[in-house]
Structure 1
């Protein structure tokens, strides 16, 4: 079983294959990646079910150090970068209809935002500078580099409290949450960076300010490729920035959908001291569905991740006491896009869980 699970984490690479192969097949092929993510994955999650097995505590140190798991994420960085550049070439040279452009752009977002941000999230939590730099590169490709600051120094500190933009409130629909999380998350990252610079007595208006670098990097990145393609084709290739920013918006929207799902209605208690209780596996929704966890590097075992943020994805554990999602993220994303259905399903589940655990 261990060997099968190791191979399973390569499932993420199915997405770029479907995007590229589907494009060259044309027609319905452009939707192959969408069908795989939003139809086949939920079906397989339903049929195959959950994997609640945890690695024995005695094996965690050894498995955490296995290079195989780190290698998979490193390879992904290069694959995603290459696929995005290929996408630039396609939109610069092909005559796509509006419908084809939308299918292609949203398909790219499933690669860069669906899996890419997940990998960036994993790498961004690590102390190793190479892993952090890879995380920043991936986030640059979706114009969401401030996530590196806000997620680690903001979200993980304030999760399940009103101070956290990325914690969705009970009764809050996704579209309202999206605006609040995107806006306040960016502002929070600015505030966190200013405080860091003031503490070290460095100038806010300098390249020491990561938010300046993070804001400029995606613009410079797409600008270089736009200029290069424009010179080569002897015309202004406006299609590249349109495609890049389009897939970026869709990509970080996928991230915000996941944020919405992961902490919906979660609240930490205020202690007599006035401080919030520590983060535990009770403060994040959990989903241990086998197939979708392969695709997302076990991100869905989110309860354990928030309780022990230092743990690598391969050793994240299932907690029966955590609130459990009825399905994996692929299915839950679709549900979140339809607020009445979401509230009908999730509000009942939230209240039932609170009653059972008396939280």
Structure 2
């Protein structure tokens, strides 16, 4: 019970990031980089010092914990906090003459909020059948110009993961930068194909407002235009800073998502069966990280194997699997490693090869 209570507190830790972003801006000087130092230095350090979390909730308690409203309220609360912080950022860039350093710090810091945590929450909510949770997921994705993720991730990635057909599965020997271009482009095109196919099965023209991809583009464009005109009206001038800031943080935010995608399935392959289909997804097809602190901030996204095994499972009851491949560090540290391909290959290729050899031996 004590461990569960501690975890409850831990899942609220994500709200530290927007607080650090705002604090850093008003504190000024080097402190404007507070959120960056926290994410890429303090969290990895805490991950290293704090014992890993390999414990799972007892089977008899899973149903009860999955239904506890606290965990849902945390994700719902994030939606409103993110919107408040985003509008604060738009207000700052449209009313204050920022230096280049301040611009860079605010744009990248905002991306850590909207991409590092926001898309993680959108991912969690987007897998649920509840219409309100799906709505909140789409709203969060709208704030990073990546609404098509709702279609491609749920109906594409989860079906094709760890196969050559999946844009979001990074290949062995593929750099993050090559992966980013392929995943962004092919994931977007796949979302169009999936939605067009859905409409054709219902005998509805893809060139209609029933097409969610058309809806998503219009909603995002309207949001950008609305914020632009509202802030322009407030300032009595055309505030070019608003769309520039919004689009810049969006690109960085979904790039963080793609960096996480790169980590999660690097080199993973499902066997193709004689009937032409691939073997079922198992806990063996995703990289995991058991670092306790980063799992708090990411709502246990690092227990990624269990998420792919049971996509609708709520974050608070995701399980650790001993047989799953393990990253050497949590996501915030491994993202930095992925940005340096030679270092990534040095750390990950031997681990991947060794893990595959172990799996081959165990399957004999």
CA distance in 1 between partners of 2:188 and 2:77 (Å): 29
Please report how far the alpha carbon of residue 28 of structure 1 lies from its aligned counterpart in structure 2 after TM superposition.
1.1
What does residue 67 of structure 1 align with?
69
Q: What's 1:218 paired with?
A: 220
What CA deviation, in whole Å up to 9, does each residue of 1:221-251 have, x standing for no partner? Answer: 0210110111121110000000000000000
Corresponding residue of 2:341: 339
* Residue 271 (structure 2) pairs with residue 269 (structure 1): yes
TM-score using structure 2 length:
0.98
| Residue among 240, 243, 263 paired with 1:241 | 243
1:98: Cα distance to partner? 1.4
Secondary structure of the equivalent of 2:284?
helix
CA distance in 1, matches of 2:151, 2:57: 30
Partner Cα separation in structure 1 for residue 69 and residue 255 of structure 2:
31
2:182 corresponds to: 180
Residue 95 of structure 2 contacts residue 235 of structure 2 at CA under 8 Å; is this kept in 1?
Answer: no
Extract unaligned runs of 5+ from structure 1: none
User: Which of 138, 141, 155 in structure 2 is aligned with 1:139?
Assistant: 141
SS of the aligned residue for 2:191 comes to helix
Return structure 1 stretches of 4+ with deviation > 3 angstroms: none
- Report what 1:191 is aligned to: 193
| C-alpha displacement of 1:285 | 0.3
Query: In structure 1, what is the equivalent of residue 34 of structure 2?
Result: 32
In structure 2, C-alpha distance between the alignment counterparts of 1:185 and 1:280, rounded to whole Å: 22
Shift of 1:288: 1.3
| Cα separation, 2, equivalents of 1:44 and 1:283 | 27
Query: Which residue of 39, 48, 51 maps to 2:50?
Result: 48
2:95 paired with 1:93: yes
CA distance in 2, matches of 1:50, 1:216: 44
Aligned length: 359
Which residue number in structure 2 is paired with residue 114 of structure 1?
116
Equivalent residue number for residue 300 of structure 2: 298
In the TM superposition, residue 99 of structure 1 has moved relative to its aligned partner by: 1.6
Distance 1:173 1:167 in 2: 12
Deviation at 1:119, TM superposition (A): 0.1
Deviations 1:78-110 (A, max 9, x none): 000110011110000111111210111000000
